Amino acid sequence: MSLLPAIEIDTPSNTPVNAAIIWLHGLGADGNDFASLVPELNIANSYGVRFVFPHAPSIPVSINNGHVMPAWYDILSFDVDRDLDDEQLIASSNAIQALVDREIERGIESHRIILAGFSQGGAVAYHAALSYPEPLGGILALSTYFATADKITTSPSNQQIPIMISHGLHDSVVPEVLGQRSQSTLQSLGFNPKYHTYTMEHAVCPEQIADISRWIQQVLGT
């Protein structure tokens, strides 16, 4: 499998890179969408973090009249239950796991690798992390949903993985009820996600960025 193209940003540091955050964008965007947040996260240089922002392939998207755009999978209908192409989602998950494998080959221990994802990217991050055979550092799920909960075979190695879910109270694209549903589903599977809400739409906000920064530093500091 050829690796997905990606933007890579290493935090400037005298400390060798020893952690990675692989961050997935949402529908119609690309890896540049969240790369600009790296300075705002204000992660201490001593953490030695490499940020990886992969680009999804461009495919026809049914809910957008079949227009071709960057997408991790096709969405067939826009109702709250999200009719989507599971096979494409799982294929994207496999592609993200290949990026995890590469970071491990570069010398980063698996438990120092965090998967983050916004919207569509979050659904892929859930599947990729929870099915990965080695223990990962954490899952950062932003304005997203656990699309493959009834199909995934979770890995015992990640049963204790830290999970931070954050969602906008006024999200009209991915309704907040889907974030709540993800939390409940994860709890029923034995996970212990932390849930945060913010007064915002389908976006990110300064308060959330500060919370994400604290969470990342807590996860990588252990």
Residues classed as catalytic = 119, 171, 202
- Residue 220, SS3? helix
Q: Which ranges constitute the DSSP H helices of the chain?
A: 32-35, 38-41, 86-105, 120-130, 176-188, 206-220
**Of the candidates 8, 9, 7, 20, which has an alpha carbon nearest to the alpha carbon of residue 47?**
20
Distances (CA, A) of 152 to 84, 144, 186, 189: 15, 17, 12, 11
Inter-residue contact 38 to 51 (CB < 8 Å):
yes
What is the DSSP-derived secondary structure letter of residue 42?
T
Torsion over CA: 185, 72, 48, 103 (sign):
positive
Q: How many CB atoms lie within 10 A of CB 143?
A: 29
**Of the candidates 96, 106, 41, which has an alpha carbon nearest to the alpha carbon of residue 73?**
96
Distances (CA, A) of 172 to 32, 80, 93, 118: 23, 10, 25, 14
Rounded distance between C-alpha atoms, residue 44 and residue 58, angstroms: 35
